[in-house]
Chain A
Amino acid sequence: MSFKLSADGVKYVQNELTRYESKQSAIIRALYRGQDENGGWVSPDVVAELSRVMDIPASQIEEVSTFYTMFNKQPVGKYHIQVCCTLTCGMLGGRELTDAMMKEAGCKTYGDVSPDGLFTFNKVECLGSCDTAPMLQINRDPYIESLNTEKGLQLVRDLRAKGGRQ
């Protein structure tokens, strides 16, 4: 098994297990932790490791991880950019914004990792911020709102500069 939760991660997951009536209820929290520690995606190793730590059959953890779209089943770039394309954002240019940003970042398709390993783009359903459409979310950070193409492209450039420095 190539993935191991950090000591803090194990402590976190074990604490989550005590918070609910059933152990299964802690699976989502544990998967988030595993995804974060594994560079943004849930590999089979992550599921196997959580199964070991939580003492829950791997199949049951896999059921949860495949049910929810917030868990990435493939590697993603350092910045996983989720652009809302539901009604309001869609009408105000969410899809065109995504296309432009992807072109700038060098991603060919949704879910693709850019050659520099920094970016992955996905269209997502409504994130509940229609008043500031179009908007997007990077990883699990606060929303970036009231976008237009120029702001979007600038965002990609800024992130590239920032990501490159680190």
Chain B
Amino acid sequence: MADNTTHSNTGRAGTEPTEAKPVEAPKMLKAKINGVDVEVKAGTSIIEAFHQNGQSIAHYCWHPGLSVAGVCRLCMVEIEGNPRLQIACNTAVTEGMVVNNASEKVKEAVKWGLDFHLINHPLDCPICDQAGECGLQDQYMAYGKYDPEMAERKVKKHKVVDLGPRVVLDTERCILCSRCVRFTDEVSKSNELGIFNRGDRAEIGTFDGKPLNNNYSTNVVDICPVGALTSKDFRFRQRVWFLREHNTICTGCSTGCNTRAFYNKEGVFRIKPNYHKDVNGYWMCDVGRDVYKFANKEARLLDARVRGEWMVPSLAAKKTGEALRGGGNKVAFVVTGQYTNEEYDALLGFAKNEVGTSNVFHWINNPETIEAFDGLLLRGDRNPNTRGLMDRLASSSLSAKWPELVQGLTSGAITTVVVAGPENQSQFPDLKAKIMELSKAAKLVWLQAGKNDQLEALDGDVTLIPLKTYLEKDGTFVNYKGIAQTVKKGLSIVPASLSITEVVELMRGAPAVEAPSDVDQVGVGRIYNEFTLVRGNL
């Protein structure tokens, strides 16, 4: 959203402010929206005023994260004293303005606007992935004509256009709101998309069939108000009304975008961004979109494995604890930046106090690119909580360096290694090498959520304990800026798995219990449509 409050001294042609002026409080304007008195900052558009005051207004092309296009003509409002309806997105609020979008005149205009949008729309909702979260469906429920008067033949356009590695385009469904075009122009600045031809033959497309291939491409699927742009990853996998949402944080890198995971009893199916002013705005990157795949059951370590035998995780943790306690500096801990503050506190406390070792090592997965940044969201540090881990290592004055571990393993000074391994294995290019390196220890304890054939194939005294993923536990991640964000337990995919905190408690001697029976378990397949219970008889 453009910040319209600083018009006063941001002069154009190189006039730099000579002295720091005190920041003036933005001028506030009083207005009336649908009979409710509101107060907004000067420069606010009417549609922003609607949203700021919790009023609903029909719209397609306007998006708070993009420039104003004013092409969908759906956000019509009636302004007192103005004989013609105006679009709310491109009209600024003025002092004393009285606006409504509830009059018959407005409803009539929106109704016709919607009917024009639908002239060439194929109405293939039964096979359209957007059904259930479609702007056309939603607005039609409120403003539909229900007696269309458009007798013209529909213009046929291209369907199932392979736009790029992640996005599929159906140009017939498109209402030409231009959100996606503005996104590639203004946000990703990759300029792939354009509106070609004109009138009823106008279509979204890329120049000369060039692919829409940037790391933010799936955002155009999110902002598409209709089913024109759909995600290859999600298409036809679930109907959206069979999915529940869980608000969480992306653990794909140290930015910590606010996201929501869509899941049901068959697993997690997609990730979409949530708005956060200071972290990610409205967007997230495509790398982050895949940060649910490792959480699903097929990728998970389902039980503990001790010396090649499967075992209940809590028992394995308890047994391991007995062997570790009092082990002193012969025991080394290797920690990745993938876990929560609470888990680090528990693990580091256990290492220092019960085990009595100062050998705690920070496994940095990609030291060469860790400082990289793509200029928008994605950071080279592909861990959600490197900052939290470093803070905790520093405050417990644990400062062992990796070469000491290598040396200790070679000399035999370190015999036991406990690894809090990567949750997101795909972002650890050195995983294979590290497993080779660390398996030199006489006893290896590896805590990790996902399965890994190389680990399972190791002989000798190897213990694997399955961990919970970020979707299945409470905790805090600190992003690169130092913003602490909490995740809440949303669902349970492998109920027997443990968080590191739980592992540590068991290692300290807490009684091992059978896996708690979680209400919200996923991964057992859909037996009946549980959502009909929510909807009632409909």
Interface residues of chain A, those whose CB is within 8 Å of chain B, are 44, 47-48, 57-63, 66-67
Q: In residues 480-533 of chain B, which contact A (Cβ within 8 Å)?
A: none
Chain A nearest Cβ from B479, distance in angstroms: 32
In the assembled complex, the Cα of A17 lies from the Cα of B355 at a distance in Å of 72
In the assembled complex, the Cα of A61 lies from the Cα of B192 at a distance in Å of 12
Contacts of A60 in B (CB 8 A): 191, 194
Check A59 against B193 for contact (C-beta < 8 Å). yes
Check A63 against B208 for contact (C-beta < 8 Å). no
Sort chain B's interface into a size bin: 10 to 19
Chain A nearest Cβ from B120, distance in angstroms: 17
Check A48 against B194 for contact (C-beta < 8 Å). no
Check B198 against A62 for contact (C-beta < 8 Å). no
In the assembled complex, the Cα of A161 lies from the Cα of B195 at a distance in Å of 42
Q: Is the CB of B214 closer than 8 A to any CB of chain A?
A: no
Check B198 against A66 for contact (C-beta < 8 Å). yes
Q: In residues 271-321 of chain B, which contact A (Cβ within 8 Å)?
A: none
Contacts of A62 in B (CB 8 A): 194, 196, 207-208
Q: In residues 184-213 of chain B, which contact A (Cβ within 8 Å)?
A: 184-185, 191-198, 206-208, 210
Does more than half of chain B's interface fall in helix, strand or loop, or is it mixed? mixed
In the assembled complex, the Cα of A73 lies from the Cα of B191 at a distance in Å of 21
Interface residues of chain B, those whose CB is within 8 Å of chain A, are 184-185, 191-198, 206-208, 210
Which chain A residue lies CB-closest to B189?
A: A57
Contacts of B206 in A (CB 8 A): 59
Does more than half of chain A's interface fall in helix, strand or loop, or is it mixed? helix
Check B207 against A58 for contact (C-beta < 8 Å). yes
Check A63 against B196 for contact (C-beta < 8 Å). yes
Contact A44-B207, Cβ < 8 Å, known A59-B191, A59-B193, A60-B191: yes
Which chain B residue lies CB-closest to A59?
A: B194
6 new A-B contacts, CB < 8 A, other than A57-B191, A58-B207, A67-B197, are A44-B207, A62-B196, A62-B207, A62-B208, A66-B198, A67-B196
Check B208 against A47 for contact (C-beta < 8 Å). yes
Contact A66-B197, Cβ < 8 Å, known A59-B191, A59-B192: yes
Check A67 against B207 for contact (C-beta < 8 Å). no
Which chain A residue lies CB-closest to B184?
A: A59
In the assembled complex, the Cα of A63 lies from the Cα of B196 at a distance in Å of 5
Chain B nearest Cβ from A133, distance in angstroms: 26
Check B196 against A66 for contact (C-beta < 8 Å). yes
| Cross-chain pairs A/B with CB under 8 angstroms, 20 sampled | A44-B207, A44-B208, A48-B208, A57-B185, A57-B191, A57-B207, A58-B207, A58-B210, A59-B191, A59-B192, A59-B206, A60-B191, A62-B194, A62-B196, A62-B207, A63-B194, A66-B196, A66-B197, A67-B197, A67-B198
Chain B nearest Cβ from A4, distance in angstroms: 17
